[in-house]
Structure 1
């Protein structure tokens, strides 16, 4: 690491005040798509001495959110239709409207009218096999692939074998990299890069950092809540930052139907964590309705899992940077992605006193590597159990009830956990805005002047080895 200082306070902590809320005049402008007007009013509020510090912190986070929203919702209606018709020429406006009304095509008001989410096409391909067939798009990864695909067959076989043997272990090797886009590079510029690497946890061991390039990256300790390798250096040429690592991932099967929770349950990991993990009136009322008549914490957790996996619709999400009150909004819209569903499950569990905590990193399959989130919940005397609502929802979508049940209490071995907490700082902190202020699955990059957004650097990750061990 260089001696150049990045010791400023972490501005990402402003997000902890996001739930303070916007003044009504600013909120109206934001919702109406008058982003320049909203920023102007925020700047005015920030300049007033009487504005409380908590509100200023919220406004600073909201200001950056508003500046980033147009990038997540770039398409006009005509452009969105054209995006589909490039693949499906006979796609009708009525079909488009049906999906907008169903919440499958996200939108906001932007400058001049409705603006549609940049990844809506990918959402339709992932969640509607018929749409993907018409578009001639083949989805990869066990969560997205269609019936009888190699990924699904491999997953089904792995689960069956895990139930039969009781456990399995895999040696997995991954290479990950990120690089500044060429058009942003200036010779001699100071850059700080973070790439996630496997953390030490109960089902992840024998972690080996095999290669780091360029040399000199700082490796965070295995117990880091969001573990990374970090470089801080001046670049004379635009080169990638990369890491290759291997680890052993273990899965142990738990037959949830045979578990009998103890009379005493712990109270750790049951607290609120603003701005997202909050026991709002709606979350409390929803949790109470779902668990009415239940006393067993395992039954309560199962009810939450069933609520999500049997009722929700998967949609790709904008950058988490721009999202507010993630669990509650999911519980209202019935839409989300893996992290959104994990946060809703976690928040519902905590709201009724069931310990729950975050995990995230990669889905690391033999022929696929993708960012993914899941959750753990604690039931004494058995300890931490897994839940993956997103994989459970995918199983329900495919009509695979046994697989859906598996992901309540269990996890497949095709995982890399890098993060053990939501909204945890890095060992080497960021000076500027993170691309994702809450999670880290694909890496972060910043210069001496600013934190970079995802569109300003290129990320790559691939599984080099996924081998079952005896």
Structure 2
């Protein structure tokens, strides 16, 4: 998606900023008829029509609906509180044709920003069990416990929510690398599905057919990544030191920020730690819009000091590369005995250790426990499934239409012969067992 490096014409930007999206779409059509535009600008304009649709879907609530929703989820919440939080900038909205429209996940974002509201938001029992289990394990690991290995049996199923047709479906499948081994395909909704090679940077199971429901089950072994665990893999690092537009870009501000954060430090490991420390202490976790709606993710995080797991990982990767430290993407699921959900983190390369993990969002979420925060620089818990080793990579085989998430694949993608279609996905942990060693 290099075309995202091309800014929109000023008149389109102006109308979008005012919330006049119908007028913006008309201006896009006018520009597309202009014979002077470059091929890259044409791609950018065509994509903007898709981006606007995704943006409007992400802000579904009117002010009245948003207040009702907040009162359902936040204990003893009042209309006055809503307006106060809105005034203070804690509630995300855009203007659409003259009306404020509020982001889907504005309620948990209030909790991420303000502890007093986090305590009032209704808790999910499985999430609380998983949080407690992880904290117990972190206590053990930071006290010198031996790393464990786990055998995981997982399933992802997806249902197409869009009409009939002949469909192509891509579901995530685990990669054997670093902490992941012994991957085994168990079963799928179709016998003739295709599994992309382990070398694929975004590994998938691929289906074709008229059916509207698909699934795959697999097993893998995951090891807690503590004190390097022997992953000293020396490879061609050049590709992990360069820009990858539009999101990993060495902008003047991020260059200056990196210089300020790393200072006079020369040791690559300590430079990476300074970058990790700055992000985990300054950037607040926040749900974000679909990645496909952003023009430059690293710049967004650096300027707004908020972002989800992937956003924080992208800023870390960008700053490391500017600092001369090879860094790359790793993602898939945070998968524990209770549930699994999409999650992203980063790897960085320094001698003599080789590749090391850095989980910015997990570290930042534990800034009130310095030992836990430091753990996620160079170490990783064992509650992971890795499907992606590259950011914004094509599938094998490729899609024909814009992906819901052009940067990553954690819940699947689907399309028909003539259009992109949406999936409703469900991840299930069937079995999660510790492997007893020696």
Match of 2:393 in 1: 424
Cα distance in 1 between the residues matched to 2:125 and 2:117: 11
Closer, same or farther: CA 103–176 of 1 in aligned 2, 3 Å: farther
Is the CA contact (8 Å cut-off) linking 1:356 and 1:376 kept in structure 2? yes
Match of 2:233 in 1: none
Shift in Å, 1:25: 0.7
Match of 1:231 in 2: 207
Match of 2:103 in 1: 117
Shift in Å, 1:105: 2.2
Long gaps (5+) in structure 2: 230-235
Is the CA contact (8 Å cut-off) linking 1:193 and 1:230 kept in structure 2? yes
Cα distance in 1 between the residues matched to 2:84 and 2:304: 16
Shift in Å, 1:38: 1.2
Cα distance in 2 between the residues matched to 1:87 and 1:376: 36
Choose the corresponding residue for 1:447, options 412, 416, 424: 416
Shift in Å, 1:89: 7.0
1:174 paired with 2:154, answer: yes
Q: Deviations over 1:200-237 (max 9, x none)?
A: 212111000101112211111111110010111123xx
Is the CA contact (8 Å cut-off) linking 2:298 and 2:311 kept in structure 1? yes
What TM-score does the superposition give when structure 1 sets the normalisation length?
0.87
Choose the corresponding residue for 2:133, options 150, 154, 159: 154
Cα distance in 1 between the residues matched to 2:280 and 2:14: 34
Match of 1:407 in 2: 376
Aligned length: 429
Q: Deviations over 1:344-375 (max 9, x none)?
A: 11111111111100011000010021000000
Is the CA contact (8 Å cut-off) linking 1:162 and 1:168 kept in structure 2? no
Is the CA contact (8 Å cut-off) linking 1:170 and 1:250 kept in structure 2? yes
Long gaps (5+) in structure 1: 1-14, 257-264
Match of 1:197 in 2: 173
Cα distance in 2 between the residues matched to 1:114 and 1:220: 44
Shift in Å, 1:101: 5.4
What is the RMSD of the two structures over their aligned residues, measured on CA atoms?
2.1
1:19 paired with 2:18, answer: no
Shift in Å, 1:152: 3.0
1:286 paired with 2:272, answer: no
Closer, same or farther: CA 196–428 of 1 in aligned 2, 3 Å: same
Deviates more, 1:242-251 or 1:39-48: 39-48
What TM-score does the superposition give when structure 2 sets the normalisation length?
0.93
Closer, same or farther: CA 232–63 of 1 in aligned 2, 3 Å: same
Cα distance in 2 between the residues matched to 1:139 and 1:129: 19
Deviates more, 1:76-85 or 1:124-133: 124-133
Is the CA contact (8 Å cut-off) linking 1:18 and 1:62 kept in structure 2? no
